């Protein structure tokens, strides 16, 4: 496995300065935002696709520092019920796939998206309950009329350009756990897999180790985001895990995102890294920082140092006991 970071952490800095920080900390790779919610501060796909000299300069900026591009990320909602919004997210995805092909990058990261409840919706509708009867009817319509047709078409597009999409399972979208991720892959095609981000699993009371094994069994584990979540036991006991309060209200929330080891602890992260090794995952661990209790630089450096202690750089052979 190789250690990288999602460069959106340093989106307030020029690309070259961000890459210098990443290289200085001994990382192997960088994941770069190309649109959608992460934005494209460091990489404008349409611009690079239209200008070979700019594309070469972009590649050189990364490679000259001994880094690799682990993935291109355009997290968005291409199934948004407002057509203009959906079209923008889809265009970001389309251009990102074409750029990934040109760069020889295997993975594009995004969300599954979430439609509304009908053709007349204005906002996405995330179904979280089996009753009243309205809910399963909405969910059936979403998958059959929007989700499956869109992602079947994208699967063929990805196949044509030798790129795969790693869907980040995230509450608020139709793919939010292991079951829904595997359903999307089964219904729509093998170019579709998962970017496993434990931070979105922890607060749903899922075990990332179990998810890793289940996804790997179906060859669906494409990528990995390294981000932690801290659970406030008292607030959770009072209010449950479905928390819509602002992330800045740390004292009142049931959970908040944390730097690696500050949420679930290093022992759990050792279990996660070991599980990745056990299933033969040889891709990237990409650090993502959304810890409101630490600066970007502090959170990044602590996460990098913690994971560097855990990663086995060389593949270990079988051991036979006498």
Question: Which helix or strand (DSSP H or E) is residue 30 part of?
Answer: strand 29-33
The domain made up of 2-310 has a fold known as TIM Barrel (3.20.20)
Does the pLDDT value for residue 53 go beyond 60? yes
> Could you tell me the pLDDT band of residue 320, with boundaries at 50, 70 and 90?
very low
Residue 275 backbone class (left: φ over 0; alpha: ψ -120 to 50; beta: rest): alpha
Return the pLDDT at 175.
98
**pLDDT tens readout for residues 179-199:** 999 999 999 999 999 999 999
% of the chain at pLDDT higher than 70: 97
Residue 96 CB neighbour total at 10 angstroms: 30
Structure tokens at 179: 């079951």
CA proximity to 255, closest of 268, 265, 267, 244: 244
Quickly state the pLDDT bin for 9 (edges 50, 70, 90).
very high
Average pLDDT value for residue range 21-42 = 97
pLDDT band at residue 319, thresholds of 50, 70 and 90? very low
Can you tell me the distance from the alpha carbon of 282 to that of 316, in angstroms, rounded to the nearest whole number?
A: 13
- What count of other Cβ atoms lies within 10 Å of the Cβ of residue 291? 25
Mean pLDDT of the chain: 96
Residue linked to tokens 């998958």? 143
Query: pLDDT per residue over 90-116, tens digit each?
Result: 999 999 999 999 999 999 999 999 999
- CB under 8 Å, gap of 24 or more: what pairs does 294-303 form? 294/259, 294/262, 296/9, 296/10, 297/21, 298/259, 299/259, 300/5, 300/9, 300/21, 300/25, 301/25, 302/259, 302/260, 302/261, 302/262, 303/226, 303/259, 303/260, 303/261
Sorting pLDDT into bands at 50, 70 and 90, what band is 313? Answer: low
Q: Is the bond leading into 132 cis (omega within 30 degrees of zero)?
A: yes
Q: Residue 316's pLDDT is what? A: 52
Picking from 230, 17, 269, the residue whose alpha carbon sits closest to that of residue 9 is: 17
CB 211 within 8 A of CB 196: yes
The domain limits of the chain are 2-310
- Chain CA centroid to CA 195, Å: 5
**Residues 285, 298 contacting (CB under 8 angstroms):** no
Asked if pLDDT for residue 55 goes beyond 70, the answer is: yes
């Amino acid at each position: 496995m190789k250690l990288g970071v999602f460069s959106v952490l340093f989106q307030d800095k020029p690309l070259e300065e961000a890459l210098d920080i990443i290289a200085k900390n001994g990382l192997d790779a960088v994941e770069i935002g190309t649109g959608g919610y992460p934005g494209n501060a460091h990489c404008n796909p349409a611009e690079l696709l239209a200008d070979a000299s700019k594309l070469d300069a972009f590649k050189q900026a990364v490679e000259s520092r001994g880094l690799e591009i682990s993935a291109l990320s355009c997290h968005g909602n291409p199934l948004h019920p407002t057509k203009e919004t959906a079209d923008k997210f889809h265009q970001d995805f389309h251009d990102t796939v074409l750029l990934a092909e040109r760069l020889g990058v295997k993975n594009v990261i995004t969300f599954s998206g979430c439609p509304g409840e009908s053709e007349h919706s204005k906002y996405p509708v995330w179904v979280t309950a089996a009753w009243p009867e309205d809910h399963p009817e909405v969910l059936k319509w979403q998958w059959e009329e929007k989700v499956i047709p869109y992602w079947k078409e994208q699967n063929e597009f990805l196949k044509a350009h030798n790129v795969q999409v790693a869907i980040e399972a995230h509450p608020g979208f139709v793919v939010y756990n292991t079951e829904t991720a595997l359903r999307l892959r089964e219904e729509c095609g093998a170019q579709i897999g998962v970017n496993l981000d434990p931070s979105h699993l922890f607060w749903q009371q899922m075990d990332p180790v179990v998810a890793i094994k289940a996804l790997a069994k179906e060859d669906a584990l494409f990528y990995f985001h390294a981000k932690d979540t801290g659970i406030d036991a008292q607030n959770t006991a009072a209010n449950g895990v479905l928390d819509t309060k602002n992330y800045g209200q740390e004292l009142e929330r049931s959970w908040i995102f944390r730097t690696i080891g500050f949420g679930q602890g290093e022992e759990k992260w050792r279990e996660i890294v070991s599980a990745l090794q056990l299933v033969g995952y040889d891709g990237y661990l990409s650090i993502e920082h959304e810890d409101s209790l630490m600066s970007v630089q502090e959170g990044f450096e602590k996460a990098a140092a913690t994971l560097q202690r855990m990663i086995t750089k060389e593949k270990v052979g079988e051991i036979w006991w006498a």
